Structure 1
Amino acid sequence: MITGLGAITPLGTGVPDLWHGLLEGRSGVRPLEGAEFDGQPVRIAGTVPQDPAELLPRPQARRMSRASQFAVIAAREAWRDAGFAASGTVESGIDPSRVGVSIGTIIGGAPVLVDGDRRLRDKGPRGVSPLTAPMTVPSQPAAQISLDLRITGEARTVVSACASGTEAIGQAIDRIRHGHLDMVLAGGTEAAVTPAVMASFAAMRALSTRNDEPERASRPFAKDRDGFVHGEGAGLLVLEAEEHALARGAHIYCEAAGWGLSADAHHLVAPDPSGDGIVLALRRALADAGSVPGDVVHVNAHATATVDGDLAEATALRRILDERGAQAPEVPVTAVKGNLGHLQGAAGAVAAVVAALTLDRGHIPPTIGCDDPDDACALDVVRYVPRSLPADGDVVLSNSFGFGGHNAVLALRRDRSDRADRADRADRSDRSDRAKEEEAA
């Protein structure tokens, strides 16, 4: 069960800023300031508007990479949201050895290493901080959460490109399912909006070049999409065994019902246009959840706004969703990268936070930037205004796909205890939502 949520994103600090920003159709993509970005072909990114170091005690913040700062801030929010004391496991009356941490990231603290190299060249060996090495390793965010909340069960790190955050959550599901742990703080973090990374992605021609319209640069599933927008942030979820959550009367957002992995084995950076690998991950997630395509009520898509990536994902989704039958209603799809940019290792975790909120609140945030949908994608993309979650079905899929052919899919299920009430609300409001979308268009 998912019982706590935390996030720090380009839309602000905290889950409320994320959720309300998505529902209102706001963008967190902004111009990159600073001389280090002068001359870069792409000078926009989805950046967190507040310095995370200001949200932590100064001595603690100085010992963390920016990615670790994001992770700890989001973890604290998720922990409090789950109903626990902010000071950690012991004060919360929880056995710390039965709690784990599972974090996905790609770059980790690599920007710290870059800064250390610059200091070495400018000031010599004495200019390099002794904290450079421990702050650089990708496992530091998981370690810092463990230290901050005094979690001793385990602290795991997943590095699988842009599927990292989703895979970290999937691994947490298994650790709880097989009885190794009662709870896991799981998710992803990334902080790599640096000149070298920006230049590298631009050299690959993977980034949108719409420097003059940052808020409209990321265009998932749009006919005129031209690449993703780089971003940063973190998303954390508290996953908990059902009996553990029920015993303490926790609020349950939804059930983390299953997950699936696959590999394209196609190309180092390009997706397999057939979508075969994605289809396999989708099928495995549904099977792990004990579900079938007819149970799917919504998809939170990976949709980076790259030409080939969006088309491959849409092709795979159509193959799965078409199995529902010709008479089945279309499944609404949304893509939060229009608002946030691509948060890399944190992308899947933040999408999972949004998917859990969608199931809990009954509303699907609209996809911004998709004013002219690509007919080749052939999906029911929610646009302009939020839409109520349909009553039929109870599974939301949250997709993440990464360079190298890493595919990871989460299957989240509606909390069954209040399904009837939610279904009634969704049924009453569905027609109204469709009318609002048509009017906005």
Structure 2
Amino acid sequence: MLAAGTLWFAGGAAPAFAGDGSPVHVLLNSAFDNRPGELVDIEVQGVRERGDVTVSSPVFPHPVRLAPREHAHHGRPAIAMTTGPGTYPLTVRAGGRVVAEDRVEVKPSRRPAFTAALPGEVLRPGERLWVSYDDLYPGETGQSFTVHSPAFRKEVRLAHDPSSADWNNPRLFSGSAELPQGVRDGTYKVTLHGPGGRVVDEKPLTVRAARPGDRDYVGRARGPAFFGTSPASGPEDARDRGHRVAAGGTVNVLWRDRAPDPGEEERLMATSPAFERPVRLRRDDSKAADGDDPRYFAPARIRRGLAPGTYAVTVASHHGRVRKVAHLEVTAAAATSGGSGTGGASGATVAYVAGGTTCGVLAAAGVGVLLRRRAGRLAARRALGGPPSP
């Protein structure tokens, strides 16, 4: 909690002012929701006097000197572990003179708490699990904690992150584990180990794949489907059969899913023996996707020199529990000039863009304008798999 404002002299009779008459402000972050051992972020603004700026309170073992920074003084002292519940005064001094006062409220200590999942929470295979251990309690001193479970690939190390949202708790240790995609349904033990490998605590973890009726049931995925890469082609034109692309060309792979699993967007892939490499599908966040099921697509490059034929394209989603296959027709590479610099690459994109390059080469060879235009049309039709025009 953050308290901010113009503070008062002892007795509350008048506001606090610096030596030049400007008011002194004290900002206390986490001043009203502390346990013993937690940090209090203190910033004092408006002090103009020379000399140390210090803060004292019965909750601190000794007066705290604040560090100067631009237009303010700052510090993060810890409340003594021996402090009992209650409200305590806090005094700010500058150059030995009291310039502001406030108060700090302290709540009772809590026993150490190990958290692996919320009560009743069910996790899916492949989902990420956050684990934490809060032992801000008198007498706790361990600095190394690990978590083990048959549901994990490997042990999880818990560490304190002073830059996290829980900066004020110096004894909050956390880490994460991704459940394997193939983990079986069941209830697993999650065990916390402290220094020397001793068991500190255990928690149950329930893992279950989605089933009919669940919001994230796997039966809502559609695809893969294919559409061209020209500006005139878009996801609305995608089809899961009959799409043709020339060897060396490019095709967009489309996937739709009304309810993707957590983390799905980071690892959705399309694979095929026809592709130069697996393709990571990206979420379509454009305005054109409004009102549609979440859709993902990306361009896939067809291998050069690939024999004409029908090739399977596979997308695995929902952590491998859904696997769908569509077939893409690959035609012979469209004819290109060896001097064009394209390396024989062709396809929908090349048919529209590289046609000018082909024309330029033919012109250099002395072919007439009419023949160049006809050659460009024939190349485009061959790339799309259609018959030549008369």
Q: Indicate whether the TM-score tops 0.5.
A: no
TM norm structure 1: 0.18
Structure having the larger proportion of residues in helix: 1
Q: Which has the higher contact order (CA 8 A, sep 6+)?
A: 1
Structure having the larger proportion of residues in strand: 2
Point out the structure with max Rg over C-alpha.
Answer: 2
TM norm structure 2: 0.20
